[in-house]
Amino acid sequence: MTSRLDLLQELVGLSRELGAPEHDYAMLAEGNTSARIDGETFLLKASGFSLGSADERSFVEMRTAAVLDLLDHRPASDEELTTALAACRAAEGPRPSTEATLHALALTIGGAAFAGHTHPTAVNSILCSEHARALTDGALFPDEIVVCGGHPLFVPYVDPGIPLGLEVRERLLEHLDSFGAPPRVIYLQNHGLIALGRSPSEVLQVTAMAVKTARILLGTFAAAGPHYLPETAAERIETRPDELYRQSRLTAI
């Protein structure tokens, strides 16, 4: 069983890689990461800390149920939300991110052990356009399906904080009802993406493949538009034994 210290070190490594300038996933204090400690608590990058320079002091331990409870007992103002999130800490620590509810959802309904929320330029170039839904209208190439899954989730723009948490919860539940499994990537319109994984490496792989997908999609816009894989072909790739084997090898890295 992974100790809290080992988990924290894994989360630091994930955060630094997501925040590395050469990737262009996040800059300054953009984005945040999280990791499930157990059924009751999780670690969350605190507000104001940079992913690229994260260390053990950049994270705060949160009580999962208390954070999720904020969605049903919504604070009346931004100031009250700040106070309520501070009260959700499991121990003394820095100020929690206002996106704490997104991570609590990713680590519960989303079935993830780790989550990485970033704002890659390539992805946001599409999410901030009139063609935002093109990222989830279909699959463009086999490896997109193998790494990011066949059913990414699109969430229309909602004010960050509790309103966004409520929207993501509703759409996650609808996704589970429709497909029987949570998505591996959530695209937030005019905002960014959330990669859900069973390990830090899976979060990194999903993020990298989502960025490649966005770059390819941007290229198709200059060449008469995207040609998505036929739905039957996409479903076949998602269930092919060789692709499932490749997926298992990737997640084991």
Tell me the mean pLDDT in the region 97-104. Answer: 96
Query: pLDDT per residue over 141-159, tens digit each?
Result: 999 999 999 999 999 999 9
Which residue has tokens 């999962």? 64
> What SS3 class is residue 154?
strand
Q: What percent of the chain has pLDDT over 70?
A: 94
Query: pLDDT per residue over 184-220, tens digit each?
Result: 999 999 999 999 999 999 999 999 999 999 999 999 9
Please state, in angstroms and as integers, the Cα–Cα distance from residue 91 to each residue in 36, 42, 88, 145, following that order.
15, 11, 9, 39
CATH of region 4-129+150-200: 3.40.225.10
Per domain, the residue ranges of the chain are 4-129+150-200
